[in-house]
Amino acid sequence: MLVTFAFQKIYNHAIQTSMTSSSIGHWIIDMDVDVITIATFRSEQVADRISKILAVVDTNILWGNPVYSFWKHKYTEVKPALSNLVAAANLLREQLASTKTQPLPSVFEFSKLLKTMVNMKHYSSVVSVFEEMRKSGVPIDGFILTIVINSYCLMHRPDCGFSMLAIYLKNGIPFDVVTFNTLLRGLFAENKIKDAVNLFKKLVRENICEPNEFMYSIVMNGLSKRGHSQKTFDLLRVMEQGSTKPNAYIYNIVIDALCKDRMLDAAISLFEEMKQKGIPPDIVTYSSLIDGFCKLGQWEKVRTLFSEMVNLNIYPDVCTLTIVTDGLCKVGKVEDAEEVMKHMIEKGVGPDVVTYNVIIDGYCLRGQMDRARRLFDSMIDKSIEPNIFSYTILINGYCQKKKLDEAMHLFREISRNGLKPDIVTYSTILQGLFEVGRTDFAEIFFAEMLSTGLKPDLCTIQILLRGYFQNGLVEKAMLLFHEREAKREDIDIEHYNVLIDGLCKNGHFDKAHAFFEKLSLIGLFPNDSGFCVEGLLDEAKDTLRKMDENGHSPNDVTYNIIVRGFLKFGKTSEMITFSKEMARRGFSFDASTVELLIDAIAKLLIDAIAKDPSLLNMIPQFHLENKN
């Protein structure tokens, strides 16, 4: 019954997903002979179903496969006159109907069956089969339990994965590092950073299992990808003190994290350290460092690293060179980026679609649409298929240049070339249409998007709201906003920012004030873009006072936003008064406010020096006095 149940699940998956005969055949090829030959079906009905699956398989793709060979061998033993897989499947059905007394297959065979189901991404079926195994008294081992835990994690339920630990204890199965690696990976996948770190600490502190290299890499990757570069670095130092020593892969994780956090000095120091320890850097190490220096525009360092790589017989791959082209494009050196790509081709390193997308985007950002389109066509000529990002980049470029006809023509090409426009592509076109005032067509286009089954995201709704306000269609904007409210759709602070900004720019200050007051009641406050006109700053002060009176004391974020508003409009005296109020409440300036304040002070100094150049002589004297 158990394997019957498993194959029922597989059969249902094949039918529900409309698998072609070719797909089913390739799936059979991927399965192990031992899994296919499990002969414990208790139901002739299921055997019929399996026969139906096998009957539609294109036998041409099975020649030479061990599964096909097995069936052919079985059929030749009994009926040499038969010569096709369907006959063998029918023979199998007859045989399975008479195997009711056969023993259950081994745990090893079941584990292979479960692994196959995981590879098919049929995770819930793995759990169901496992429950049937337990009911049928099949012995359970750690390998099978780990497969089930992994399935739970892939179903976004690591909590259920943890519940499996009780089965380990109940059956006297020792925990192993693979089990906890699986759970850690599941926690990080769900962004449960704190839980993952606490689990790792508990494993080490209570000596539950010795972390291996893979466990360290899971935790380090999880931390680094979420911006915790210092914690990643600290964990490296912990690892160095244990029995498992870091290798190049581990060092690469930390170096990449430091580079992404723009801590290039620390990254280079670690790079030199690994070389001193006899751990040779590889292409990944150099690519991370090159990426970091490219983003800082330190091209001499990039050249030095390239020379060092080549001297060590480490040659840049397409990923490394794409990093360089991206860095060049970001600082406007698009022609240089294209030269790098040509150099790649000369050296036998073929650029991929990502490389082309980077350079096409570079030309689009500079408004050089002819060059961008020429490169796009060149990519196709070289048999490199553009992806949806390629089209969206080019469409956005045309929209920015207000060439909507070209953008729409390219949009229609997407479907003809077998791709599907995504929400970003549609949103890009919508924004372009509103920019040129084609609101009627924008609404038709939006309806077309909805008809494809795509749902607008927050960004799309903001584009619609901003587009209506931009074209003076205040009533339509308000109707859309209220529809979102009525449907209890997600409305974040950015929606209110767009709303307040649009109402102000269209002269509806009373409505803007009403929404401003509403925000204080629901605990939200607009960001800098919400202060669209100077008059709204006075409204902000009144709103703060009312918030305070109603027991909703504003926080430091709110105060910082208003201070930035005063700075933005040059209201220095009001800013100073408000800053004193902040200090009295125990709040301080955040980084964004400090940066804006420094800019404001610098501007005042420049203006003052322009009026009285003698003030410039005071700067060295002031510096020396402070130094003493």
Residue type present at position 201: K
Give pLDDT, residue 79. 35
Question: Would you say 282 and 314 are in contact if contact means Cβ atoms under 8 Å apart?
Answer: yes
Q: Coil, strand or helix: which one is 28?
A: helix
Amino acid identity at 522: I
Which pLDDT band, with edges at 50, 70 and 90, does 515 fall under? confident
HEC string of 318-368 equals: HHHHHHHHHHHHHCCCHHHHHHHHHHHHHCCCCCCHHHHHHHHHHHHHCCC
- Does residue 412 carry a pLDDT above 90? yes
What are 130-142's pLDDT values in tens digits?
887 788 777 889 9
| pLDDT, tens digit (0-9, with 9 covering 90-100), for 478-512 | 999 888 877 766 666 777 878 877 887 787 877 87
Return the axis-axis angle of helices 334-346 and 318-330, rounded to nearest 10°.
Answer: 160
Rounded alpha-carbon distances, angstroms, from residue 500 to 167, 434, 478, 511? 57, 19, 11, 8
* Angstrom distance (rounded) from CA 289 to CA 314: 14
Q: What are phi and psi of 19, to 5 degrees?
A: -65, 135
Closest CA to 68 of 29, 94, 35, 13: 29
Question: What pLDDT is recorded for position 102?
Answer: 54
pLDDT score of 21: 45
Burial class, 575, CB count within 10 angstroms (exposed 0-12 / middle 13-18 / buried 19+)? buried
**Close Cβ partners of 49 (under 8 Å, ≥ 6 residues apart):** 7, 8, 11
Quote the pLDDT of residue 620: 47
Range of 59-63, 79-83, 558-562 with top mean pLDDT = 558-562
Structure tokens at 615: 């003030």
Give residue-wise pLDDT tens across range 241-290: 988 899 999 999 999 999 999 899 999 999 999 999 999 999 999 999 99
- Output the pTM of the full model: 0.63
| In the chain, domain spans | 2-112, 466-545, 555-628
Residues 6+ apart with CB under 8 A from 141: 107, 111, 173
Residue 622 has pLDDT above 70, yes or no: no
Between residues 78 and 426, the one the model is more confident about: 426
Angle CA 81–83–88, to nearest 5: 100
- Average pLDDT over every residue of 99-128: 74
Give 589's contacts (C-beta < 8 A, 6+ positions apart).
Answer: 560, 563, 579, 582, 597
Mean pLDDT value across the chain:
78
pLDDT of residue 236: 93
What was the pLDDT predicted at 287?
A: 94
The residues near 216 (Cβ < 8 Å, ≥ 6 apart) are 235, 239, 244, 246, 250
